[in-house]
A and B are shown apart, each in its own frame.
Chain A
């Protein structure tokens, strides 16, 4: 095993864990403000909201990428500079982001819905700095995903990497599900980051030609969610690619093979994911109805290939496997469970008729926190745990496994249930305080603070344990 890849992955993981802790603290502060336990004021609330959103989306995206990079490096020679440049860009981007939010008081939300950045800008330089942060992050990540695509393409042709020969039965090199899913996800990542590039360029043109040119809000909204939704969706698949590689070995089963239905599933996913984002625009009646219907159909078909195949594979792998559970395998197994739960919440919201009363209520953060906080984060933490078990100074103590896992699951579940209840009770999302109409939100926020704190404690213990076991490797 090449030491550089190991060390750099370790650097990524430690950075990710630290930024995650900071972003959780932002989140808890927001829930405390809503619970009227602290008083940071609306401006600071929305500054925290903007920072929390982009940090979380960013940090778990790079976590997925770091996992892919590491597993790829076990097979092939992966150019190092892609990961290094991405690391530098991520750090620089986060710094500029935090300057734009905390110093220049930019507070338009991480998805910066046009034309809000020109209104919720704080200082005049706020939107400029924020867009620069997005541009730095986008450029670094785009480069990274291109480097990884090249790495795969140096071994396989496009049709081979998409495992088409596994569908047609033609001869060709065996392509593992890991390669297939990584390739599919990286293509999606490239597309959505390019959408971010277009978006940022349009913003800069409007900034440069102030007053004489403006953009179409509907076009900008489409671009925003093409970028935002697809990025968050693909980062989950990055985590899954690593799961396909590591999980069967943890269960003591032979590695997953790319069968015809796995190949078809992920090829279908490649297309479906690009159209699912339309569900963010259901309540914009200006969007043609055909697009809305495509949105609902694609949102409902999206889980069929990817989720059904994965869930079924994971269940049958564990069934009577006599496996020894570690924190990594526990996180993978129950991560898939919560992913399924969050998926149900998501597709219920993706019904246009339901969206009429669920859109922008807490049902939305409810479902995406379920498959991020308890799904995607679990996948990446599982990778990190596996990594620490493999290369750390010692294995995690069994009592520690129990405590950390219980804290994460109980804390996370309670936290998202508060959101689901909020959604069922029509409590809006993205508000710093609850008016009389929706004052149930206050007690739910209190509940969320308690459970999120448990999760935070679990994460602190995880981070300390991880650092203790692995930090030595970094400097060895």
Chain B
């Protein structure tokens, strides 16, 4: 099931839901770190942007390849000090160190300083999951869940939100945001808007033409057809008048 969800979101390539989460604040949840101390997420995001994702240690499916992929992509980026990767477990039975394994770290090669692993505390777990749009369901002692990668800004608001494995274009935009490269504009249209002429594509950070554009082209197209129709209904008048037209023009 996990894989099916990931595959589906990968094939779709973009997240039409991103606008529902963009700029919303996440609750300042607490989590237990590997040295057993309690920590607020804000202690990271107040210092630098946070790439936040959720997983759980016993996951038989998506969590391991998902985190490996994130690790691969981030290693390509290079500028590691500019942000913090925070991986939190929503499974109370987890130990933070168990999570290392998911991203391919172990005691011999521990995660670097810009990676943080932790287990969410009971009290704020549900609200954090809701705010990030992470859906979990217990099936036979294991969780079925979707995967979410969110970029959290300095004040705890979601600057980017990607469900499933990010595509190349989504990574591109994420890195642009992390390194403050220029994305000229983005949309925060709410869902009562029934159509627009350009669809903002969160994956590439660009605009695509949408069928609402027809509303602008429409008047010109209709005019074209009206002229053609008028031409055909006036055909008889024209043949009648053609003989006298040259004389009339001299008037």
Contacts and interface: CB of A to CB of B under 8 A. Distances in A.
Interface string B207-251: 100001001101110110011101100100110011001101101
Contact of B190 (A155, A194, A214, A287): A214
A215 interface: yes
Contacts of B237: 154-155
B223 A214 contact: no
Contacts of A176: 249
Nearest to A219: B197
Given A156-B238, A158-B228, A226-B219, A216 B189 contact: yes
Contacts of B193: 214-216
Contacts of B227: 149, 153, 158, 187
Nearest to B241: A155
A173 B238 CA distance: 12
Interface in A273-305: 274, 285-289
A314 B228 CA distance: 34
Given A155-B245, A286-B185, A190 B223 contact: yes
Contacts of B184: 285, 289
A342 B197 CA distance: 32
Q: Which interface class (under 10, 10 to 19, 20 to 34, 35 or more) fits A?
A: 35 or more
B137 interface: no
A192 B249 contact: no
Contacts of A216: 189, 193, 195-197, 212
A174 interface: yes
B196 A219 contact: yes
Interface residues of B, number: 37
B69 interface: no
Contacts of A91: none
Given A194-B223, A216-B193, A157 B248 contact: no
Contact of A219 (B216, B219, B241, B248): B216
Contacts of A215: 193-194
B27 to A, nearest CB: 29
A-B residue pairs, 9 tightest by C-beta: A216-B196, A194-B219, A154-B237, A195-B219, A191-B223, A153-B234, A214-B192, A286-B185, A219-B197
Interface of B: 184-185, 187, 189-190, 192-198, 206-207, 212, 215-216, 218-220, 222-223, 226-228, 230-231, 234, 237-238, 241-242, 245-246, 248-249, 251
21 contacts: A74-B251, A75-B251, A146-B230, A149-B226, A150-B234, A153-B227, A153-B230, A154-B234, A155-B237, A156-B245, A158-B231, A173-B246, A191-B223, A194-B219, A212-B192, A213-B192, A214-B190, A214-B194, A215-B194, A286-B207, A287-B198
Interface of A: 74-76, 146, 149-150, 153-158, 173-174, 176, 187, 190-192, 194-195, 197-198, 202, 211-216, 218-219, 222-223, 226, 274, 285-289
